[in-house]
Amino acid sequence: MKKLIVIRHCSASGQEQDAALTIAGKEQANALAEFLISNNLHIQSIISSPFTRAIQSIAPFALQANLPIKEDKRLSERILSDAPMEDWLHKLEHTFTNIDIAFSGGESTKQAMNRVASLIQDVLQQEHQVTLLVTHGNLLTLLLKHFDNRIGFSEWKNVSNPDIYEITIDEQTTIHRLWGDITSLLNAFS
């Protein structure tokens, strides 16, 4: 049996690759570390998107757990388009039903899912039983969709900053949301 703990980064100052966490995002990262430590998830390995906000989100936990953070571009956020789109939300929704559609300079759902699936295959070949992956909202949703095709746009809309899902890969794969309501969790660690 293998487990993937999949995390969406904390609140950030923007969407650029080098966008840092906000003040609230830094508080969330500390709460995230406390949550991961207190829940004793037996995490043995951390792999993160190379984006600044992803690294900063998991750095407090990595420090406390004394684990290195391995960066992997396959966890980078999916680019919908390299051109501004006024109706980007509608187009994003459409990509969950038409997985082959790609916009100018962007990546289709199928391409992004294939990218993250190659990472998952590599992780499952490792000796570690529990691996933590840090990524972005859209890619996290597509990673979940890889395991359960029913996951789509409405699940993407409900992903929080941060968020945590546990995927248990065994004879039957299960997905369990561990984080959810950030407000109650932040209050629990205040």
Q: pTM of the entire structure? A: 0.92
CA 190, 24, 35, 33 torsion-angle sign: negative
Is the pLDDT at 184 greater than 50? The verdict is no
> Which contacts (CB < 8 Å, 24+ apart) does range 110-118 have?
112/78, 112/138, 112/139, 112/142, 113/142, 113/143, 113/145, 113/146, 115/74, 116/74, 116/75, 116/142, 116/143, 116/146, 117/146, 118/74
pLDDT digits 0-9 by tens, 47-91:
999 999 999 999 999 999 999 999 999 999 999 999 989 999 999
- Which residues on adjacent β-strands are paired with residue 6? 133, 165
pLDDT digits 0-9 by tens, 95-140:
999 999 999 999 999 999 999 999 999 999 999 999 999 999 999 9
For the chain, the structural domain boundaries read 2-188
**CA–CA separation, 34 vs 23, rounded Å?**
17
Token pair of 140 as six digits: 């996290």
CATH of domain 2-188: 3.40.50.1240
